[in-house]
């Protein structure tokens, strides 16, 4: 009996390798032991940057008495949710089916064949917060296993039915304008029109929601959609959720005003926010958006580069305290800035009592654009002083899906902010991911660390890489990216397709996932794989003119049309419906790269770009356009307009 996590590659699992708990990694060995001992499995799921995961680890998993209970009465498995989101989704769905609120650490009791029968999240070491102590939970679950197996069996059966229902497609009509308008109204009613974002606390960026609203802004001209997106970016970019010294956004704020973050920084959040900043800049140029985009890219390159790509996250904690690396006392700032402190305080309040637990989280109160050079010098001094502190831990595993989102964001931001180097960086990351994580069958693995693959590819990885390839294809005109997108697509259809137009999250050869295989159509903080696949098909249809892609896009959209009310939680899928119906494909001829740059920097997310020579497929409306004259043709609904020869005319013509 031993802790087996020392052989893991996941930084999160390695955080627990010295626990007195006899942790297993996910796999048959653990379940075989549970069957042999006739004890339940205790599954604990978290991630390296998770504050409450650290708290529960310190309070319970490092406690010899609690560990003894776990070792005696259970087989314990530790899972990194970022490395195995397929496992996490299955058991998080089970927790929701129990009527419990989700979160991490996720704590689940399973039968020796992996069936869930009870679950929760964080538990304190002794009763508090209205929650039982973790030792009490362990004893109660163990005794129930010994004495009330029939009740556990009923729970298993009920949850198995609930998981099957959650995984089922609900065919119906594809989303149409009426549904898009109804969902738009729901989101706009939910907005905090003073502080930005969705109302209430805690506050997450919820970028998939705002991506949908951005589509709606251009589809229907509803200015409230644009106002909601701009307000979110403005408030977040001035609030404490943004790292004003080092760049990058934290995962969420615990308050309504974006002041107090949980300080972890996630790659996917910053990728999605970077892309949103680029769209907002294209719509309404702002020095604030440009500064935050440039600072975020600088943070990515400086602090997150790993193995030719980007690391997954930075932790919230350092030296055992949440936010310690990021917060200040007034006296510390005065010591660093000296006579400049009075000037700095006009822009960043420095209350003597602090603004969070006696400390200061930097937030910007004054408008952006005044004395930025002097302020930048102050921030540089504070950043230099902060760099002497003990840094938070970094989860340096490489996740294909999150890096794919970052590739697409760097492409869009590079085009909008005039930074071809960002597009080149995106191309380098794409190449590195294929070299190290691409398989001979066209699939892309999910997780890698130290050159070692640690998790097979999921739908989000395939969909994300197709999306990234199509972004690079449009930005560069290099046909190899389109070819690669179609190679990955073929593998995705073969191994993830459900036979009814949609997709499973895991491949058909994933042998270690508790059945039923999940279909994840709901967006979380990042887009769902199914939503991205609908978008990919729509983009491929408009770029190639092949009607088969339109039919496949419609099939994905229709696979869940029978649960129209539930599609409020699938805004990326709904945005794909707009893209399919209303995209403009700008065909650039005669090597008019100045016109291509205009289209690539468009604020409308449904503007796609195709070089003239690539429109050779007879099915595409651009077929036959002469490539010897500098022009751009805007093709909508399989009909191309008259040639446009200058940049300003093209900008005007691209407004829907």
Q: What is the pLDDT of residues 189-217, one digit of tens each?
A: 999 999 999 999 999 999 999 999 999 99
Of 578, 575, 583, 577, give the one whose Cα is nearest residue 635: 583
Three-state secondary-structure class, residue 93: helix
Does 144 lie in the same domain as 262?
Answer: no
| Count of CA atoms in the C-beta half-sphere (13 A) of 265 | 27
Does 505 lie in the same domain as 424?
Answer: yes
Q: For the residues of 217-284, what is the DSSP string, one character each?
A: HHHH--HHHHHHHHHHHHHHHHSTTB-TTT--B-SEESSTTS-SEE--EEHHHHHHHHHHHHHHHHHS
The CA-CA-CA angle for residues 619, 624, 627, to 5°, reads 130
pLDDT digits (tens, 9 = 90+) for 223-270: 999 999 999 999 999 999 999 999 999 999 999 999 999 999 999 999
Structure tokens at 494: 């073969």
User: Which pLDDT value is given to residue 493?
Assistant: 98
Domain end: 149, 167, 185, which one?
A: 167
Distance CA 426, CA 429 (A): 5
Does 304 lie in the same domain as 337?
Answer: no
Domain end: 341, 370, 388, which one?
A: 388
Place of tokens 């408030």: 235
Does 546 lie in the same domain as 447?
Answer: yes
Does 135 lie in the same domain as 58?
Answer: yes
Question: CA 574 → CA 210, 218, 401, 533, distances in Å?
Answer: 12, 14, 20, 12
**Cβ neighbours of 100 (radius 10 Å):** 15
Distance CA 269, CA 271 (A): 5
User: Which pLDDT value is given to residue 235?
Assistant: 98
Residues of the chain with pLDDT under 50: none
CATH number of 543's domain:
1.50.10.10
**Tally of domains within the chain:** 4
User: Which pLDDT value is given to residue 516?
Assistant: 78
On the 0-12 / 13-18 / 19+ scale of CB atoms within 10 A, 331 is: exposed
Residue 321 lies in a domain: no
The answer to whether residues 183 and 575 touch, using CB atoms and an 8 Å cutoff, is: no
Of 87, 125, 124, give the one whose Cα is nearest residue 108: 87
User: Which pLDDT value is given to residue 503?
Assistant: 96
Does 618 lie in the same domain as 522?
Answer: no
- In terms of residue numbers, what domain contains 208? 177-316+395-582
Of 431, 443, 635, give the one whose Cα is nearest residue 545: 635
Residue 70 lies in a domain: yes
Residue 81 lies in a domain: yes
The answer to whether residues 21 and 71 touch, using CB atoms and an 8 Å cutoff, is: yes
Residue 172 lies in a domain: no
Distance CA 166, CA 235 (A): 36
Distance CA 586, CA 656 (A): 13
Residue 48 lies in a domain: yes
User: Which pLDDT value is given to residue 615?
Assistant: 58
Does 307 lie in the same domain as 332?
Answer: no
DSSP E strand stretches across 86-222:
106-110, 116-120
CB-based contacts of 579: which residues, under 8 Å, 6+ apart? 215, 535, 538, 539, 542, 605, 606
Does 578 lie in the same domain as 443?
Answer: yes
User: Which pLDDT value is given to residue 612?
Assistant: 83
Domain end: 142, 167, 192, which one?
A: 167
Three-state secondary-structure class, residue 45: strand
Residue 306 lies in a domain: yes
Question: CA 55 → CA 52, 169, 492, 498, distances in Å?
Answer: 5, 38, 39, 40
Does 16 lie in the same domain as 83?
Answer: yes
Does 241 lie in the same domain as 350?
Answer: no
Question: CA 99 → CA 162, 323, 504, distances in Å?
Answer: 11, 32, 24
CATH number of 113's domain:
3.40.30.10
Distance CA 463, CA 106 (A): 26
User: Running DSSP on this structure, what letter comes out for residue 592?
Assistant: -
Distance CA 622, CA 633 (A): 8
Three-state secondary-structure class, residue 43: strand
> Is pTM, for the whole model, over 0.75?
yes
Distance CA 468, CA 426 (A): 9
Distance CA 596, CA 643 (A): 13
Mind spelling out the 3-state secondary structure of 383-436?
HHHHCCCCCCCEECCEEHHHHHHHHHHHHHHHHHCCCHHHHHHHHHHHHHHHHH
Three-state secondary-structure class, residue 648: helix
User: Running DSSP on this structure, what letter comes out for residue 620?
Assistant: S
Residue 550 lies in a domain: yes
Does 198 lie in the same domain as 271?
Answer: yes
Does 266 lie in the same domain as 200?
Answer: yes
């Amino acid at each position: 009996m031993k802790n087996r996590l020392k052989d893991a590659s996941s930084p999160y699992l390695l955080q627990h390798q010295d626990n007195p708990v006899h942790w297993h990694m996910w796999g048959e060995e653990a379940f075989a032991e549970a069957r042999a001992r006739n004890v339940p499995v205790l599954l604990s799921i978290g991630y390296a940057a998770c504050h409450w995961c650290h708290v529960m680890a310190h309070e319970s998993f490092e406690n010899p008495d609690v560990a003894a209970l776990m070792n005696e009465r259970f087989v314990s498995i530790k899972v990194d949710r970022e490395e195995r989101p397929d496992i996490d989704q299955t058991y998080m769905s089970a927790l929701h089916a129990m009527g419990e609120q989700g979160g991490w650490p996720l704590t689940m009791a399973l039968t020796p064949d992996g069936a869930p029968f009870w679950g929760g999240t964080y538990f304190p070491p002794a009763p508090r917060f209205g929650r039982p102590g973790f030792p009490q939970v362990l004893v109660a679950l163990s005794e129930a296993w010994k004495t009330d197996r029939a009740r556990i069996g009923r729970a298993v059966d009920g949850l198995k039915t609930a998981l099957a229902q959650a995984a089922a497609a609900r065919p119906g009509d594809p989303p149409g304008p009426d549904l898009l308008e109804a969902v738009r109204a729901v989101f706009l009613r939910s907005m905090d029109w003073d502080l930005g974002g969705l109302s209430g606390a805690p506050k997450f960026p919820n970028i998939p929601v705002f991506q949908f609203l951005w589509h709606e802004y251009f589809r229907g001209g509803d200015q409230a959609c644009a106002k909601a997106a701009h307000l979110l970016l403005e408030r977040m970019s001035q609030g404490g959720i943004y790292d004003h010294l080092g760049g990058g956004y934290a995962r969420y704020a615990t308050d309504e005003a974006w002041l107090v973050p949980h300080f972890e920084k996630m790659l996917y959040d910053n990728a999605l926010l970077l892309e949103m900043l680029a769209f907002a800049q294209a719509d309404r140029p702002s020095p604030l958006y440009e500064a935050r985009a440039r600072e975020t890219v600088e943070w990515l390159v400086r602090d997150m580069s790993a193995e030719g790509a980007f690391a997954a996250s930075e932790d919230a904690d350092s030296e055992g305290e949440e936010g310690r690396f990021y917060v200040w006392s007034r006296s510390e700032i005065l010591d660093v800035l000296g006579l400049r402190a009075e000037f700095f305080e006009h822009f960043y309040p420095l209350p003597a009592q602090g603004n969070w637990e006696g400390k200061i989280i930097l937030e910007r109160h004054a408008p952006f654009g005044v004395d930025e050079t002097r302020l930048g010098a102050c921030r540089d001094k504070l950043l230099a002083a902060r760099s002497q502190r003990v840094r938070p831990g970094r989860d340096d595993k490489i996740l294909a899906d999150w890096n794919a989102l970052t590739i697409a964001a760097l492409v869009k931001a590079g085009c909008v902010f005039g930074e071809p180097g960002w597009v080149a960086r995106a191309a380098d990351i794409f190449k590195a991911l294929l070299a190290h994580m691409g398989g001979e069958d066209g699939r892309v693995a999910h997780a890698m660390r130290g050159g070692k693959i640690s998790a097979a590819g999921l739908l989000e990885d395939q969909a994300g890489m197709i999306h990234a390839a199509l972004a690079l294809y449009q930005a560069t005109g290099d046909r190899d990216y389109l070819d690669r997108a179609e190679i990955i697509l073929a593998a995705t259809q073969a191994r993830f397709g459900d036979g009814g137009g949609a997709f499973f999250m895991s491949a058909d050869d994933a042998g270690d996932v508790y059945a039923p295989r999940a279909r994840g159509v709901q967006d979380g903080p990042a887009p769902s794989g199914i939503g991205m696949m609908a978008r990919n098909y729509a983009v491929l249809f408009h770029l190639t003119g092949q009607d088969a892609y339109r039919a496949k896009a419609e099939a994905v959209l229709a696979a869940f049309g029978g649960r129209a009310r539930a599609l409020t939680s699938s805004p990326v899928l709904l945005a794909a419906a707009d893209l399919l119906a209303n995209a403009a494909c700008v065909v650039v001829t005669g090597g008019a790269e100045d016109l291509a740059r205009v289209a690539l920097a468009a604020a409308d997310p449904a503007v796609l770009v195709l070089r003239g020579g690539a429109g050779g497929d007879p099915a595409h409306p651009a077929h036959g356009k002469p490539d010897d004259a500098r022009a751009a043709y805007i093709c909508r609904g399989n009909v191309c307009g008259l040639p446009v020869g200058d940049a300003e005319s093209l900008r005007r013509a691209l407004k829907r």
